[in-house]
Structure 1
Amino acid sequence: MLAESVLEGLDPDQRAVAEAVRGPVCVLAGAGTGKTRAITHRIAYATLTGVVAPQRVLAVTFTTRAAGELRSRLRTLGAPGVQARTFHAAALRQLSYFWPRVVGGDQPKIIDSKVGLVADAARACRLSYGRTELRDVASEIEWAKATQQRPEDYPAAVVRAARKPSVEVVDVARVYAMYEQLRRERNLLDFEGMLELTAAVLSEHREAAQQVRDQYRYFVVDEFQDVNPLQKMLLDVWLGGRDDLCVVGDPNQTIYSFTGASASHLLDFTREHPDATVVRLVRDYRSTPQVVRLANGVIAAARGEAAARPALELVAQRPDGPEPLFSEYDDEVAEADETARRARKLIEAGVPAREIAILFRINAHSQTYEAALAAAGVPYVLRGAERFFERPEVREAVVRLRGAARAGADAETDGTGLIHTVRHVLSGAGFSDRPPEGAGAARARWESLAALAQLAEDMAAADPRAGLPEFVAELEERAAAQHAPPLEGVTLASLHAAKGLEWDAVFLVGLVEGTVPIIYAETPAQIEEERRLLYVGVTRARVHLALSWARSRSPGGGGRPRRPSRFLEGLTGRTTTPTPAPADRTRRRAARGPQPCRVCGRPLTAAVERKLGRCTGCPVELNEELLLALTEWRAETSARQRVPAYVVFTDATLQAIAERVPESMEDLARIPGVGRAKLDRYGRSVLALCGA
């Protein structure tokens, strides 16, 4: 029988989900336990056994990608008529259908972004905000609407939720009220308003509600721990008192409370539905026992209310793998360099680059890893955020720094002068010594500018003679070198952006107090959400897992050493402290400072000149035959490795090799652009061409 074949291959718990064809059903599904497999087989089994017709089923999830995956799997299982949509897609479809029938007139226009309307509302309130503040106000309005807080209720709600907006709470409430007024006057609708209006239409028009309830009689909601009060309200309207509902979620992966999501809907499901069937999925098919053991250890240490959540202790189903590696470094540069080296080693061992991820808590940390991977010749892709040098605040800061350099802003020539000048220029872009309170766009902008200030400190420490022109040249060189290939590459992502994904190898970096947990997480509930964020990071790994932290931010950094994250207490086991050889560290630091032209001795500032080691106008002998051979070798190598040619060597580096014709590894290592990783990987081939 076709229906029975759907149950084949399911483990006992997954089969229990599939056979629980009548609601209410609550599936508590741990990471990697096959929840999508279980719920799609449940839907298919229910339709194939005649419990419900496919067109009467509505499966709701949170992303179009997840909805597409559900539809694809259901088609394969013989249930092609099932509707799988996001909350917003389902609401928009219903609102568009019923509007001319029960409301009439012009249908509101959906706005993709609140920022433009927030700007108009702020001007109407005689408030002047930059784009960063506008984005933060828009985020606050989104949170308020998702949690069903009116403008007049917003200030008190912020206090209860322990939120710390970067803009005055009273001003946000004023802008929020004006935003709603302008939205109604202009017949506009945002995403939260779409859900709210759909619920209102169905609540106020019985015939519309009846039609929807006749259409959809069987509901499945995935990622139920991420449902916010507004989405729960719409779901209740759809149900209309019925209980043919199956919810699926993992309280251990509740990491979006700051957007209004609440795990209480999942945790209180049996209170709302006392007769509910509850099934726990704990068999982990994703990760090795070593990774699963660490994940269980992270979440087992939960405190306060989080400790009272339903226990979901994962049970590994895969064969043994390597133990997770814990590493402490002197500074973030060393941490990034070694992480890039390990990523390269995994790629050489046969792990595809796309199956490796480096995960960090805040997006500003990507810059250090972008640079380290580029220097090691490892291709990468950045997920969930703009590349560091493409962020608006970074582009603006580089323009300001370039202008200051042209104007001769740094009269002082010592390291202190460079640091002072860069910080002064960045202050014009909104940088200050103290970060803004709370999260949001303002904090993200500050972190990006702080990363630039830190780069200046690093350069000053490496070469006290470096000035603003050298610093700008360094930024331009970094920006030019960090273009990732479109597909194949190591993934760089924040922990939030990594949810729902998995890789063969995962590096969790920057695990220090003040970052994990983040410094603005103050309440016990906020601290525990940070713990769950680390748990999400750990459970992304299938086989290889590395966790690391650095005692200081920059090389040679003084001050009070940073402490490893409190979440690592009792978990670290063996700790290694790999440190690059002193010669390598010295050579890399020296490369950041000004270099003299090897022909005329003039200090080199332009990135291409520093690569060549000479002024572009100085006469030099070039072995054109060698340059041609090197270019052909690079093309063959990049094609074989499926990486862009620049990842092997840039044009400037090839030209420098053809000019100098190195005779030994030591000679080759002195050429800018030939780091330790590239020396190990390509050195013998390049020297063979030079010798020929």
Structure 2
Amino acid sequence: MLARWKDFFDTVESKPLTPEQRLSIVVDEDATLVLAGAGSGKTSVITAKAAYLLKAGIRPAEQILLLAFAKDAATEMSERIEARCGMPIEARTFHALAYDIIGKVEGSKPALAPHATDDTAFLDLIRDILRDLVSTVRDVARAIVAWFAHFLVPAPEEQDFETKHEWYSAVEKLDLRTLQGEQVKSFEELEIANWLYENGIDYEYEPTYEHSVSTEGRRDYTPDFRLKESGVYIEHFGVRRKRGPDGKDVLTTAPYVDRDEYLAGMDWKRQVHAEHGTTLIETFSYERSEDRLLEALEEKLAPHVTLNPRPLSTIFDRVVEMGQVDAFSRMLGTFVRQFKSGGYQIGACTDKAERLKMGRRGRAFLAIFEPVYAEYESRLGDRIDFEDMVLRAATYVEERRYESPFRHILVDEFQDISQGRARLIRALKAQHADARIFAVGDDWQSIYRFAGSDIHIMRNFGAMFGGSFADEKAVHRTVDLGRTFRSVDRIALAARRFVLQNPAQITKRVVPAGVAPDPAIRVVWTRRDEGDGQLRQVLSGLAALPAPMDRKTSVLLLGRYRFVDPGLRDLQRAFPQLSFSYKTIHSSKGLEADHVVLLGADAGRVGFPSEITDDPLLSLVSPEAEPFENAEERRVMYVAMTRARATLTILASRSRPSAFVSELLADPEYGLKDSTAGTAPLPPCSKCGGQLVPVQSQAGRIWYRCQHDRHCGNMLPACPDCATGLPQRKGDMGHECDSCSGQFRSCPVCGDGWLVPRKGRYGAFLGCVRYPDCSGKAKPGPAA
């Protein structure tokens, strides 16, 4: 067949089809899965397949079902097929097919809900339901407010981390921000702060203690909380307890914490309050692990404060103001769609949450979801949404109330298939023994879980759609297109390596579009408030590169979120030789450009990878869990990387880089170029194991501040000789600056700092640069 149809394959598209594309078209198994990576010409394959079936007389047009996910894609395929073979064929969306099936069985088509095919309207509806439930159903309102106050983010346990750096990184990713608006340092502090806010108790977070506490080597004392009206202080101590050999309780700390030093600090704080007659309330990590932190806090505060709970609607308005409702509505909407599409029940989800040990957070979420879902279904009334439409159509096909004329079912973008759509396709195929499924997709680009897609369907393609032969089941054929017509080798192969770090992704080979003589992916570091300037420097470099012969150089700016948009008008004015566009990564799918610039590749809850998209709760409505961390976000990154033909530039925060950026830079096999290559690596922070990042003060001085500045607080001045480098300890030789080779005596107390001349009441002396954190000093003159 390949030889017989050679002329057709040479001319059906503007360029001859590749050997892999031709093979995928002539293969005619019960079920054929075509693995079409980014830029591999999947649209050419699916349109050529339909044209081939028609031209070869294998099927008449009315027996071919061509399915696309979007109306525009369906229209484009219909037009291309007719242009290639002169025969009309209608490509349909799943929505149009399901609606037609329902109409033929019922005699009329039920009214569609306004949000049935509009994601924005759907999310608006979910938000409206949440707000209305807060206003009308008190028990549900309490559950919703409790969610935002205490369960919004999954809380890892501090004791499970081996280093301060790991713990600080985990906390920073989740951006622990209270209902009052401040950022706190632990989940337990977040719970306490939000409980105080909920109960109308005005507080200050980490205020300076009202009495002067003069202790050499200590910073000013800042208790965790001070209650404004009563003056009561609250200190939360990160200790757990276990039973000792003598039967008494023993306090323990996280592995990276010096237990004796921490306990001494607790005693010092108690002594300070006792000496100055201030009231101290203590809370402990073990109270949270015993599920009684807030109850214990209420009991301890009872003699000192009167609770004045804020109205639930007021708290909800505050949550809306902070922008937390939108993200939660999106996650809740994803859950609604997958719940309906997969035919799940609340009881089964509850049981699964218990099996997966989701604890109080799982129960808190389902306590919201159940009334939200009931209200959602109530508002549908006699109308149907997309999930209803597909499931009702699938039922009619399964019951043979609808007789399928289709013998070849061709599905585009198969990685976006949902449980309901898969059920409909299986039902259509089951009506005819000779029916065929031809699916084209790329599991590496499965990034629409929020719209109901389920990647496990593609991974289990043979089991779900394959045929039977000679006592074998799940018989199917997989064809790997392999060749990309878009990206050069240093992008295409790096993207492949990156996405395959998740072993659950289907392995595919990649043949790049060309060979790049130089690194094609680079990281450019940004500092706070410097992103725009760094972007313009990058664009200046791209503008200086040779342009294509017949057009402007195209530059696609990508962001994980809409708010990353830098504004194109000024950029276009500044760089008229470039052609710009900005897209979120999700909306860029199918696009390409000469150069791609990825913006905002930073760590954080709304960073990249997003800490919202892969919420563990979504596994309750998925037949299989995706245990690999940031599984879907990794595929989003793959999509971003593979939009580029020639170069990819990633802009990332120097102090809080995306985990993906750190991973790409750590492995030389990716071949990335670091914008700081050739300069000294960032020095380590001796206090927590993070990195010290150079920052410039308002006075123009350079300081080296720990990347975890909110938690660690370690900071060292730049070298006093060159004012740019950082002196570091060189064993017993003292400190030496790598930039200017300046040499200094090491601090005899902390060892991390070095000694500089100072003057005191008794004359000149040498003091540690880390004062007041360190009180190390020595007499002037050569080291002893």
Give the AA of the match of 1:566.
Answer: E
Whether the 8 Å contact between 1:270 and 1:276 is mirrored in structure 2 is yes
Measured after TM superposition, the shift of residue 343 of structure 1 is 2.9
Output the aligned Cα RMSD.
3.9
In structure 2, relative to structure 1, the CA distance for the partners of 1:61 and 1:332 (3 Å cut) is farther
1:507 pairs, out of 592, 597, 601, with: 597
Q: Secondary structure at the match of 2:567?
A: helix
Could you say which residue in structure 2 is the equivalent of 1:190?
385
Q: Residue by residue, what CA displacement relative to the aligned partner does 1:404-463 show, whole Å, maximum 9, x if unpaired?
A: xxxxxxxxxxxxxxxxxxxxxxxxxxxxxxxxxxxxxxxxxxxxxxxxxxxxxxxxxxxx
Whether the 8 Å contact between 1:151 and 1:176 is mirrored in structure 2 is no
Could you say which residue in structure 2 is the equivalent of 1:496?
586
Q: Whole-Å Cα distance in 2 between the matches of residues 365 and 155 of structure 1?
A: 37
Alignment of 1:364-383 (within 5 A): 364-366=563-565, 369-370=566-567, 374=570, 377-378=573-574
Give the AA of the match of 1:490.
Answer: F
Whether the 8 Å contact between 1:354 and 1:491 is mirrored in structure 2 is no
Measured after TM superposition, the shift of residue 73 of structure 1 is 1.6
Alignment of 1:39-78 (within 5 A): 39-78=46-85
- Asked if residue 170 in structure 1 is aligned to residue 367 in structure 2, the reply is yes
Give the AA of the match of 1:529.
Answer: E
Could you say which residue in structure 2 is the equivalent of 1:220?
410
Could you say which residue in structure 1 is the equivalent of 2:30?
23
Whether the 8 Å contact between 2:418 and 2:454 is mirrored in structure 1 is yes
Could you say which residue in structure 2 is the equivalent of 1:312?
508
In structure 2, relative to structure 1, the CA distance for the partners of 1:493 and 1:317 (3 Å cut) is closer
In structure 2, relative to structure 1, the CA distance for the partners of 1:90 and 1:168 (3 Å cut) is same
Give the AA of the match of 2:417.
Answer: V
Q: Whole-Å Cα distance in 2 between the matches of residues 174 and 99 of structure 1?
A: 31
Give the AA of the match of 1:29.
Answer: A
Whether the 8 Å contact between 1:151 and 1:174 is mirrored in structure 2 is no
Q: Residue by residue, what CA displacement relative to the aligned partner does 1:639-684 show, whole Å, maximum 9, x if unpaired?
A: xxxxxxxxxxxxxxxxxxxxxxxxxxxxxxxxxxxxxxxxxxxxxx
Q: Residue by residue, what CA displacement relative to the aligned partner does 1:351-375 show, whole Å, maximum 9, x if unpaired?
A: 6678311112233322xx228x736
Could you say which residue in structure 2 is the equivalent of 1:284?
484
Could you say which residue in structure 1 is the equivalent of 2:438?
246
1:544 pairs, out of 643, 647, 659, with: 647
- The alignment of Structure 1 onto Structure 2 pairs a total of residues equal to 453
Whether the 8 Å contact between 1:512 and 1:550 is mirrored in structure 2 is yes
In structure 2, relative to structure 1, the CA distance for the partners of 1:249 and 1:325 (3 Å cut) is closer
Give the AA of the match of 2:478.
Answer: V
In structure 2, relative to structure 1, the CA distance for the partners of 1:157 and 1:230 (3 Å cut) is farther
Could you say which residue in structure 1 is the equivalent of 2:457?
265
Q: Secondary structure at the match of 2:57?
A: coil
Measured after TM superposition, the shift of residue 541 of structure 1 is 0.6
Give the AA of the match of 2:554.
Answer: E
Q: Whole-Å Cα distance in 1 between the matches of residues 582 and 645 of structure 2?
A: 17
Higher helix share: 1
Gaps of 5+ in 2: 11-15, 116-120, 142-312, 467-473, 617-626, 678-694, 701-784
Whether the 8 Å contact between 1:508 and 1:546 is mirrored in structure 2 is yes
Q: Whole-Å Cα distance in 1 between the matches of residues 638 and 665 of structure 2?
A: 11
Q: Residue by residue, what CA displacement relative to the aligned partner does 1:220-268 show, whole Å, maximum 9, x if unpaired?
A: 1122222111111111222225441111111222223344322222221
Give the AA of the match of 1:198.
Answer: A
Whether the 8 Å contact between 1:18 and 1:41 is mirrored in structure 2 is yes
Whether the 8 Å contact between 1:17 and 1:27 is mirrored in structure 2 is yes
In structure 2, relative to structure 1, the CA distance for the partners of 1:271 and 1:173 (3 Å cut) is same
Q: Whole-Å Cα distance in 2 between the matches of residues 226 and 561 of structure 1?
A: 26
In structure 2, relative to structure 1, the CA distance for the partners of 1:42 and 1:171 (3 Å cut) is same
Could you say which residue in structure 1 is the equivalent of 2:666?
569
Q: Whole-Å Cα distance in 2 between the matches of residues 564 and 175 of structure 1?
A: 38
Measured after TM superposition, the shift of residue 57 of structure 1 is 1.0
Measured after TM superposition, the shift of residue 139 of structure 1 is 4.3
In structure 2, relative to structure 1, the CA distance for the partners of 1:124 and 1:53 (3 Å cut) is farther
Could you say which residue in structure 2 is the equivalent of 1:35?
42
Whether the 8 Å contact between 2:594 and 2:647 is mirrored in structure 1 is yes
Q: Whole-Å Cα distance in 2 between the matches of residues 194 and 55 of structure 1?
A: 23
2:611 pairs, out of 519, 524, 527, with: 519
Q: Whole-Å Cα distance in 1 between the matches of residues 114 and 658 of structure 2?
A: 47
Q: Whole-Å Cα distance in 1 between the matches of residues 561 and 411 of structure 2?
A: 30
1:107 pairs, out of 102, 105, 110, with: 110
In structure 2, relative to structure 1, the CA distance for the partners of 1:544 and 1:345 (3 Å cut) is same
**Residues 345-354 or 71-80, more deviating:** 345-354
Identity rate, percent: 23
Q: Whole-Å Cα distance in 2 between the matches of residues 162 and 507 of structure 1?
A: 38
Measured after TM superposition, the shift of residue 165 of structure 1 is 9.7
Q: Whole-Å Cα distance in 1 between the matches of residues 507 and 395 of structure 2?
A: 37
Q: Secondary structure at the match of 2:478?
A: strand
Could you say which residue in structure 1 is the equivalent of 2:560?
361
Give the AA of the match of 2:486.
Answer: R
Alignment of 1:457-496 (within 5 A): 490-496=580-586
In structure 2, relative to structure 1, the CA distance for the partners of 1:49 and 1:563 (3 Å cut) is closer
